[in-house]
Amino acid sequence: CLGTCPKCEAEVRYLEQQLRARSLAGKAVALAGISAVSLAMLMPISAEAQTQQERQTFMKGSIPAMTDTITVKGIVLSGDTLPDGGISKEPLIGATISNNRTALGAIADLEGHFGLPACVGDTLKVEYVGYEPQTIVVTEDMRNVEITLTPYQALTGEVVVLDTRHEKKHYLDLNVKDQHGTLMDCDNLDISRVWIDEDGEEDYEYLNPEYFDEKHPCRIYWDDDLALQDEDGKPLKEATLRIEAEGYDDPITIKVKYPKRNAKKTIKFKHKKK
């Protein structure tokens, strides 16, 4: 038979239907396989992306940003006890201030002032030789802070006395001589700054000269002496000084200018009291 009889044609149609059904079934299985693989590939990616996003959200919330940076400004003073029970409150020139977090530091200037960048919450350590170190925590209002260091106490309870002499500029050496030409110590002198006040009356304020050595027994540190500062705490450009010597009647008055670095003035008393 050549396949043209009704029986053969029916068999051919049956075979074609079976082949078509199997072909469609194969495609469905293939598509199902592709879909399963795709889902399997996409699901881990989505889970990983979600985990990564959660991790980033946690990191952002757990690490604070240092946006509250300020410049801590202030002055470091000594807390020595004076004979009258008061506190010295002298500037500690060269005191060190360090930031424990950033390791940055600053040094107090000739007036004890300093400035140091820091963030609120940082810890600063203030140190000076012969004094107890002090630790402070930075707050928002630390733009004019006063830090007073107390002297270091030895185990015996005595105060350790150290030679903290350092170089100072702008001083005036007064070589005050007696009638024999011998230099007089500042302990035997009364030195004051005199001026005329708003009422036209004379006013005065005593200076605090220091003994330096035998050749410089009367030294005035212009920047440090309060009697030589104006109302704003700045050094005067010039001053009129009155010098009184023990055993002499008449004081000597001189006019001096602010020393650019250091200066010297020689004064001689001639007539002693009778």
Quick: pLDDT tens for 214-238.
Answer: 888 899 999 889 999 988 888 999 9
Structure tokens at 136: 């402070």
Going by pLDDT thresholds of 50, 70 and 90, the confidence category of residue 11 is: low
Q: Got the DSSP string for 31-67?
A: HHHHHHHHHHHHHHHHHHHHHHHHHHHHHHHHS----
**194: its two tokens:** 């005199």
CATH of domain 69-149: 2.60.40.4130
User: Which residues, in sequence order, are bridge partners of residue 113?
Assistant: 75
The alpha carbon of 10 is separated from its chain's Cα centroid by a whole number of angstroms, namely 103
Percent of the chain with pLDDT over 90: 39
CA distances from 67 to 125, 139, 164 (A): 22, 14, 40
Instruction: Report d(CA 102, CA 115) in Å as an integer.
Output: 15
Token readout for 167 is: 């170089």
DSSP 105-145: EEE--TTSEEEEEEETT-EEEEE-TTB--EEEE--TT-SSE
pLDDT in tens, 196-219: 988 899 999 999 999 888 888 899
Three-class secondary structure of residue 234 per DSSP: coil
CATH number for the segment(s) 171-268: 2.60.40
In this model, does residue 93 exceed pLDDT 80? Answer: yes
Token pair 């060190």 is found at 96
pLDDT greater at residue 264 or residue 33: 264
Mean pLDDT (the chain, rounded): 77
Please classify residue 84 by burial: count the beta carbons closer than 10 Å to its beta carbon, then call 0-12 exposed, 13-18 middle and 19+ buried. Answer: exposed
Q: What proportion of the chain, given as a percentage, has pLDDT over 70?
A: 68
User: What is the b/e burial string over 43-80, where b = at least 16 CB atoms within 10 angstroms of the residue's CB?
Assistant: eeeeeeeeeeeeeeeeeeeeeeeeeeebebebbbbbbb
What is the Cα–Cα distance from 121 to 50, expressed in whole angstroms?
Answer: 35
CA geometry: angle 129, 151, 164, nearest 5 deg: 40
Tell me the pLDDT tens digit for each residue of 101-141.
988 999 999 999 999 999 999 999 999 998 999 999 999 88
